[in-house]
């Protein structure tokens, strides 16, 4: 290859840092991660995006992040309670955490059930059947594994985001269309390496 | 002779690469293989993309036992088979570069620049940077995305876009696999003196049929280690040699016979 041609081709080299910079722009995304996930910065560095955790997920809640949602995090696992809840508490995965066991890079770490908090639910009362009808429904309270995360006053559920562990059962079970509940990363407890 | 004709077929490499990707998809769907690029695992055997492992180390400044051993296994395989993965199993190289007329090049300086920039970007931005756009790895990721609920359009994009990009770059700029691919350059550097490599194991008349067949523009009958880095073991030269003098295996029968003949010519008179 001639020198001029080589120099012309050299213009391709900044493509990788540019892609990485574009992916990193806007700070770390706020996603609901599987149990035992490291703090977001560290998670993005360690996660190989291999998808092993997603494949072994017992309930089917884990799914790969779409490139449209976040460039830096695409292919990493996120919890989608619309597909299924995460059963790390009072469920099939309690104390086992197959996703954590499958992780080959240590982006997910084994933690005790009581230390896990994936995030918390956000209540959109304008969609809530119980709120609109002045009481009733309460399917969310029925499926909630945490005693004081949902408080019922006058047959209307009120959500305590501090007590909520973010398993997503209520979001999955909510019969309202569109859903009155949304799982967010608010208050998530992440592992420090 | 039959095997040689098979090697020479334009369909051989695309068929091998396509069936490799298809069998990955099938075994993943069946739950036999777990993970995708850069880290696969089947039972107790794990395998990592060396560049992926390097970038994970650069990004997180740590290396798990599993990722480390997976990278070591890949390195050991490369020491044995060189860049056979590039020539026959990579989901884009064999598929994209057999169908277009590539601009021959084995000047892998730019590939080395890409390799260094991938490692530096990972360190700087704290994520496996090249993995986000790696044409070698994206088709594997497409399988995971397709199996676990992403829109099917993503799978199609992630398979077709790398193919198109590699075909276009190889046609317009330089042969991607021989000169530009950072994964290939890393594999080539590790496996430049691999056990399996193109060797001259017989008579050479200097007809240069192998040179014309080589997409990297190498002279397969004699290569320095720097040139072997760019050799993807596509084996077109093996099929092209009219005497069948090129082979992968060290000291084949022909080579042994040739050595014996030379010994006889040299020593014969003195012994008797």
Q: Which residues contact B209 (CB under 8 A, 6 or more apart)?
A: B240, B241, B242
Q: Higher-confidence residue: B48 or B260? A: B48
Cβ within 8 Å of B, A 90-119: 102, 104-106
Report the SS3 class of residue A82: coil
Contact in structure between B83 and B184 (CB atoms under 8 Å): yes
Whether the bond between A178 and the residue before it is cis, its omega within 30 degrees of 0, is yes
Q: Which residues of B touch A72 (CB under 8 A)?
A: 127, 132
End-to-end CA distance of chain A: 47
Query: CA-CA distance, A135 to A152, in Å (whole number)?
Result: 10
Whether the bond between A28 and the residue before it is cis, its omega within 30 degrees of 0, is no
The pair phi, psi for residue B135, each rounded to 5°, is -65, -25
pLDDT score, position B256? 65
pLDDT score, position A119? 97
- Inform me whether the C-beta atom of residue B118 falls under 8 Å from chain A C-beta atoms: yes
Q: Which residue of chain B comes nearest to A45, CA vs CA?
A: B127
Report the SS3 class of residue B111: helix
Query: CA-CA distance, B183 to B180, in Å (whole number)?
Result: 9
- Inform me whether the C-beta atom of residue B173 falls under 8 Å from chain A C-beta atoms: yes
Q: Which residues of B touch A56 (CB under 8 A)?
A: 34
Q: Which residues contact A60 (CB under 8 A, 6 or more apart)?
A: A83, A84
| Closest alpha carbon to A82 in A159, A165, A181, A190 | A181
Cβ of B34 and A19 within 8 Å? no
The 10 Å Cβ neighbour count of residue B66 is 17
Cβ within 8 Å of A, B 16-35: 28, 31, 34-35
Contact in structure between A165 and A116 (CB atoms under 8 Å): yes
Instruction: Kindly report, residue by residue over B35-87, the tens digit of the pLDDT.
Output: 998 999 998 899 999 999 999 999 999 999 999 999 999 999 999 999 999 99
User: From the candidates A27, A42, A46, which should be mutated to test the interface with B, based on the most B CB atoms within 10 A?
Assistant: A46
Instruction: Kindly report, residue by residue over B115-173, the tens digit of the pLDDT.
Output: 999 999 999 999 999 999 999 999 999 999 999 988 889 999 999 999 999 999 999 88
Per the DSSP assignment, residues forming a β-bridge with B34 are B41
Q: Which residues contact A76 (CB under 8 A, 6 or more apart)?
A: A31, A43, A44, A47, A49, A64, A65
User: From the candidates B30, B36, B124, which should be mutated to test the interface with A, based on the most A CB atoms within 10 A?
Assistant: B36
- Inform me whether the C-beta atom of residue B170 falls under 8 Å from chain A C-beta atoms: no
Cβ of B39 and A14 within 8 Å? no
Number of residue pairs across A and B with CB atoms under 8 Å?
147
DSSP conformation class of B88: I
User: From the candidates B40, B118, B129, B230, which should be mutated to test the interface with A, based on the most A CB atoms within 10 A?
Assistant: B129
At B254, the pLDDT band (50, 70, 90 cuts) reads low
Q: Inform me whether the pLDDT recorded for B1 exceeds 80.
A: no
Contact in structure between B34 and B42 (CB atoms under 8 Å): yes
Both tokens assigned to A12 = 């391709």
The pair phi, psi for residue B41, each rounded to 5°, is -150, 130
Q: Which helix or strand (DSSP H or E) is residue A156 part of?
A: strand A156-159
Per mean pLDDT, which range of A17-26, A158-167, A171-180 is the poorest?
A17-26
| Closest alpha carbon to A157 in A181, A132, A131 | A131
């Amino acid at each position: 290859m001639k020198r001029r041609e080589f120099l012309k081709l050299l213009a391709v080299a900044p493509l990788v840092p540019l892609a990485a910079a574009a992916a990193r722009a806007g700070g770390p995304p706020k996603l609901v991660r599987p149990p035992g996930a490291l703090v977001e910065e560290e998670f993005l560095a360690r996660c190989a995006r291999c998808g092993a955790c997603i494949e072994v997920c017992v309930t089917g809640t884990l799914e790969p992040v779409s490139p449209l949602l976040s460039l830096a995090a695409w292919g990493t696992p996120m919890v989608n309670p619309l597909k299924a809840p995460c059963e790390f508490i009072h469920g099939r995965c309690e104390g086992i955490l197959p996703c954590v066991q499958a992780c080959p890079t240590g982006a997910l770490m084994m933690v005790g059930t009581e230390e896990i908090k994936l995030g918390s639910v956000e209540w959109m009362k304008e969609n809530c059947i119980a709120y609109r009808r002045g009481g009733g429904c309460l399917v969310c309270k029925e499926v909630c594994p945490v005693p004081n995360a949902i408080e019922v006053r006058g047959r209307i559920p009120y959500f305590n985001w501090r007590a909520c562990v973010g398993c997503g059962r209520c979001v999955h079970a909510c019969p309202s269309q569109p859903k009155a509940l949304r799982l967010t990363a608010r208050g998530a407890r992440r592992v420090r390496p | 002779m039959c095997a040689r004709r098979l090697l020479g077929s334009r369909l051989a490499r695309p068929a091998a690469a396509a069936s490799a990707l298809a069998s990955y998809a099938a075994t993943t769907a069946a739950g036999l293989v777990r993970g995708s690029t850069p880290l696969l695992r089947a039972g107790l055997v794990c395998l990592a993309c060396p560049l992926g492992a390097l970038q994970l180390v650069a990004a997180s400044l740590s290396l798990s036992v599993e990722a480390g051993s997976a990278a070591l296994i890949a390195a050991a395989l490369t020491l044995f088979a060189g860049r056979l993965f590039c020539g026959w199993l990579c989901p884009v190289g064999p598929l994209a570069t057999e169908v277009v007329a590539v601009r021959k090049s084995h000047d892998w300086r730019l590939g080395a620049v890409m390799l260094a920039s991938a490692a530096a970007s990972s360190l700087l931005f704290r994520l496996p940077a090249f993995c986000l756009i790696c044409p070698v790895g994206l088709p594997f990721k497409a399988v995971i995305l397709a199996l676990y609920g992403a829109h099917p359009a993503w799978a199609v994009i992630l398979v077709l876009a790398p193919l198109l990009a590699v075909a276009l770059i190889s046609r317009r700029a330089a042969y991607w696999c021989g000169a530009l691919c950072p994964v290939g350059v890393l594999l080539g550097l590790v496996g430049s003196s691999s056990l399996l490599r193109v060797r001259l194991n017989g008579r050479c008349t200097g007809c240069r049929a192998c040179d014309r067949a080589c997409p990297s523009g190498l002279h397969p009958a004699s290569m320095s280690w720097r040139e072997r880095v760019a050799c993807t073991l596509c084996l077109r030269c093996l099929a092209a040699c009219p005497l069948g003098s090129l082979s992968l295996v060290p000291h084949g029968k022909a080579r042994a016979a040739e050595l014996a003949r030379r010994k006889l010519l040299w020593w014969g008179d003195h012994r008797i």
